[in-house]
Each structure stands twice: as structure tokens, then as C-alpha cells.
Structure 1
Amino acid sequence: MNEFSLHPGNKAGIHEGLGALAAAEGKALDETIERIYHPKARWYGSNPINELEGTDAIKDVWQTLRRSFPDMERRDSIFLVGESGT
């Protein structure tokens, strides 16, 4: 293992991004998605969504979820990061 690890910084960035997605609505949600996802990101979800590509497709899913479940909450039950030991 290296003396310097990017894992804590990556974990903090992912955690912040997920929190921002949970808190944002409307145009702010679209802006958050554009900020945290690569324009050609591949997003894998369960059926019937399956696989998406690009921020426009990801925005459609998130906007639909937020409209359908206005009281949706996000909770961190388990949030792991680190070396696998291999």
C-alpha cells in the first residue's frame, strides 16, 4: 500500500455528491448531475432502467424519481472504501 492514498478524498467526494443529489430539486438537480457525472457516464440500474449513457439520460431518471417520490430520503447504512488487500 502506498503512503499516500486517494481513497479518503475520493470517498469524501462521492459522499458529498450523493448528498447533493438527494437534496437537489428541479434545475439544481440537473446542475448537480452535470457536476458529478462525466458527460458520457455509464449508469447501471435495476430493471426496467438497466443501463444508461450520458447525463441527459441520468437526469431523466433522477427527475422522474424526485417527482414520483417527493419525500424520498437517502441514508448511509454502509459506506466503504479502501484497499482490497489483494
Structure 2
Amino acid sequence: MDADYLTDFTSFRVKVGTVDAEHEDFVYTCRGDTIQVVKLVHGVKNCHWVTVPGGQQSLHCDTDTIESKTYSVQALRRNEAIE
């Protein structure tokens, strides 16, 4: 299990969560002051082969959202959240 943290290196550090690096990922989306973190699990549902640039074949499978969190950078800095 790997842990991910959200930090600005000076005023806050928040543990986002843990993932099984072989089957799960965190995806981060930033919009203004807001950071959305989505935890995805890679399954074996609806798998299909696709051709990627360079002509190589790659297996792509659907992912499912396990969890979603939204953070305000301003609020994290104001609260000086350190975990």
C-alpha cells in the first residue's frame, strides 16, 4: 500500500489516502482554489485492445470510482492542517 499526501510544503500536509499501486490510482483535478481527488480502481470489466501512437497494442479496462474528496487550498492553509 502506498500513501498519497496533499501539501504545499510550507503550511499544510494532508493524507489523501492509501492505494494498492497495482490496482488503484488517485486522479487530481485542480480548478482555481479547489482540488478534487478521485480514487479509482482498475478492474477487468469491459477490457479491449487499443492501438496507441507508434502502433503498439495496449489493453484498456474500465475503472470504477471508489471515493471522491474535494479540498480548498485556502482552507487548508488557514487551518494549517498537518497530518
TM interval, short-chain normalised = under 0.3
TM-score by length of 1: 0.19
Larger Rg, first or second structure (1 or 2): 2
Task: Report the structure, 1 or 2, having the larger strand content.
Answer: 2
TM-score by length of 2: 0.19
